[in-house]
Amino acid sequence: MELIEGVEASKKNLIFKRNKRKLANEIVDNLIKIHSVHNDKYGPIDNAVYNSWYEYYENFAKETVSFTNNSDVSNTVKKAVNAAYEKLPKILGNDKNNATLSHGDYWLPNFIIDTKNMSLKGVIDPFNVMWTEPEYELFTLTVGHGKNLHLYDIYKSKVKTTENCDIKIELYALFNELLWYKILGKIGFVYLEYRSRRLLKAIEKM
């Protein structure tokens, strides 16, 4: 354990601070550094036994679809997860990247910020750390104030993304939110609807 001076990056008053662009670049550069660590297998950090990301994620997606179809979420959410699972081979099957270290919960409440110079001091609370495909946790850059900081756009200006990156962002965001619902037993249904509509729209464009 280590004490890190600063405040969490989700504080609303940070939105109005100067040097937001500097902070946003530091957040993105730190994620790129995390993603520079690779492995030859995919899966949980302590049990990476899968030869491909698709092999791992297809099992997770199948379980998520089953859970969703038997839950009390709306028909829009169910339609989105079923449509995504049907297209999963096309969305994920062509990725040939190395397994990449992922933090698992890389979003603003887990960033510690020095408000004097708007610099990133630390990243806390890794959740479900895994060896994933490189674009797996990019959806975390699009949630909360991360959207206001344009984190995803900054990332894409620094790293060449795959053809399906945008749709993967929507898929991972929705399925990850459903994982939280499965674990916690409660969720923001409005946000589920929002991500489901975005995913359905992305699938229609394929």
Q: What distance in Å separates the CA atoms of residue 31 and residue 106, rounded to the nearest whole number?
A: 8
Residue 158: its pLDDT value, please?
A: 98
Q: Tell me which residue has tokens 């698992």.
A: 104
Q: For residues 31 and 155, is the Cβ–Cβ distance under 8 A?
A: yes
Q: What distance in Å separates the CA atoms of residue 77 and residue 189, rounded to the nearest whole number?
A: 9
Q: Which among 56, 84, 107, 103 is positioned nearest to 174, based on CA atoms?
A: 84
- State the Cα angle at 202 between 74 and 26, rounded to 5°: 105
pTM for this structure? 0.90
Q: What distance in Å separates the CA atoms of residue 165 and residue 138, rounded to the nearest whole number?
A: 9
Could you say which DSSP state residue 111 is in?
A: E
**pLDDT tens across the length of the chain (206 residues):** 677 777 776 665 665 566 788 889 999 999 999 999 999 999 999 999 999 999 999 999 999 999 999 999 999 999 999 999 999 999 997 767 789 999 999 998 999 988 888 889 999 988 889 999 999 999 999 987 788 889 999 999 999 999 999 999 999 999 999 999 999 888 889 999 999 999 999 999 88
